[in-house]
Amino acid sequence: MTICMGPAENVEPETFMTNPGNFILFVTDNHARNFLGAAGHSHVRTPNLDSLAKRGVLFKNAYAATTLCCPARAAIATGLYPHRTGFWDNATMYDGSVRTWHHHLRDAQVSVAAIGKLHYRSAGDDNGFSEEIHTMHVVGGIGSPLTLLRATEGGVPSRAGHKAIYGNSGPGQTDYQIYDRQITERAIDWLRRNADNPEPWALIVSYPSPHPPFRADQEFWELYPPEEMPLPPTWDAPNRFDHPAVAYLAWMNQVSAGLDESFLRDAYAGYCALITQTDAEIGKVIDMADEFGLTDTTRMAYTSDHGEAIGAHGILGKANLYEHSAGVPLILAGPGLPEGKTVSDCVSHVDLFPTILDLFDVPNETGGNLSGISLLQVIEGQHDPRPGFAEYHAMGSVNSSFLIRQDNWKLIYHVDMPNQLFDLASDPNEACDLLAGGSTHPKEAELKGLLRRQVNPEALNARSKSDQLARIEELGGLDMVRNAGSIAASPIPGKEVLLEKI
């Protein structure tokens, strides 16, 4: 049984090595927490990430700060939740205005390089890196203006491109798989050039996969026959769209009529295949780090910006706070860290900032103003367990929503809509909302109180919409934003964006 608020498993208080060494952070896009061999998934194969977990620490209850690319990546960088920074969505993205852990390391004379997908505003901003190599940022420094319409009375319009991109699942490749290989090549080249550097360094290696479309090389596709895929138990549940927030998300993405089983099996198989292919790319970098003699001096971490529903609750993508979308894999391994350890405490993207500073023994100059704590404290059992928390204020939502979890009890708080309550011990798939149909439960009040000690949901809903409306005006007004088109997938460096007209 998962006890989110319980202590780390099999941990005796001890002090792990935190003297400066090297650090590699692997980041992917769209990788759900449970789609990992080390997490016990019945089908997906992730041998390289499983191996990393075996020689390190697996956090089995890690949460994204929010479930959309740009604001999630901003939280990883800044150590602050979206409500602390105002980076709400894919049109109000990280812009260099808030100091990151990259800035702190660079100021401490630690070289910090980034390769691959960052999804910040621009490489022209000071994002805190010593160098950016072949990085992906939002289109034109503007991103996806359509997401801002969630602040208007009409909201974001229904769009066909979202479902269509999942229909492009199968053997083969898209630009993202080409970019994945380019990222791996550049990461290996960077390691080759820096392997003998006596000074400590940090490297981000960030892949766009497994973001849809779910196309993978034939060798990986063949591992996952669609007819053998274990579809989520809630994919066609009669009550899957009963909650108004889920019904709106399904309407916006044109899946309200339900998902065809054959369509979903292909998408599910493609998702698993692409995860395995991305795992192989990460494995190439890890193997070369070992070949270059870096294993004994280099800590490594792995996470993803958010998860993926892949049919659970009848939806595709993210933009919600169910476990499949808010839960992310998180692994920390390397010299001085325990091996083969699993930690059950709830942890978050925002914990990476203080963790990385700890690993380099660099002081936190934010004045203790971070949202998270060092994962080393969690591993060592030196900090009381915290509630799980996440928030969402972007495309696919009518109003802001918040996740608060204590032990196995989880509340999804919806501003001006009914809340949802789940007992994850007996209902890990969140199939049974204990507040559905106007039902009551004593845990709701308890979790609402816990949430309100952290944030004011209604105030943040109003502030996020106010900021989004102001951004609409900055971009030229409603007509410009409505006519900007929808971006289903950001283009890789050197490619033009393909817009879906609404």
Give the integer Cα–Cα distance in Å for 324 and 318. Answer: 8
CA-based nearest residue to 484, from 156, 212, 251? 156
Q: How large is the C-alpha radius of gyration of the chain?
A: 21
| DSSP annotation string for 198-227 | SS-EEEEEE--TTPSS-EE-HHHHTTS-GG
pLDDT of residue 10: 41
CA pair distance 412, 414, nearest whole angstrom: 6
Token pair recorded at residue 269: 């198989």
Q: Which pLDDT value is given to residue 1?
A: 31
Which residues fall within 8 angstroms of residue 184, CB to CB, at 6 or more apart? 205, 281, 284, 285
Place of tokens 């089908």: 43
Residue 356: name the closest of 387, 330, 327 by CA.
330
Residues of the chain with pLDDT under 70: 1-20, 367-368, 497-502
**Kind of pairing between the strands at 201-206 and 111-117:** parallel
Q: What stretch of H or E contains 70?
A: helix 69-78
Structure tokens at 490: 């950001």
Question: Where does 337-495 have alpha helices with state H?
Answer: 352-359, 375-379, 442-452, 457-474, 478-482
CA 448, CA 456: separation in Å to the nearest integer? 10
* Residue-averaged pLDDT of the chain: 94
What was the pLDDT predicted at 494? 87
What does the pLDDT read at residue 366? 74
Overall CATH class of domain 22-386: alpha beta
10 Å Cβ neighbour count for 476?
12
For residues 63 and 34, is the Cβ–Cβ distance under 8 A? Answer: no
pLDDT tens digits, one per residue of 33-83 = 999 999 999 999 999 999 999 999 999 999 999 999 999 999 999 999 999
What is the chain's length? 502
Question: How is the chain split into domains, by residue range?
Answer: 22-386
pLDDT at 19: 58
Looking at this protein, which amino acid is placed at residue 236? D
* pLDDT tens-place string over residues 420-454: 999 999 999 999 999 999 999 999 999 999 999 99
Q: Measured in whole angstroms, how far is the alpha carbon of residue 454 from the centre of its chain?
A: 21
How far is 299 from 295, CA to CA, in rounded Å? 8
The neighbouring-strand residues paired with 63 are 327, 348
Q: What is the pLDDT of residue 500?
A: 63
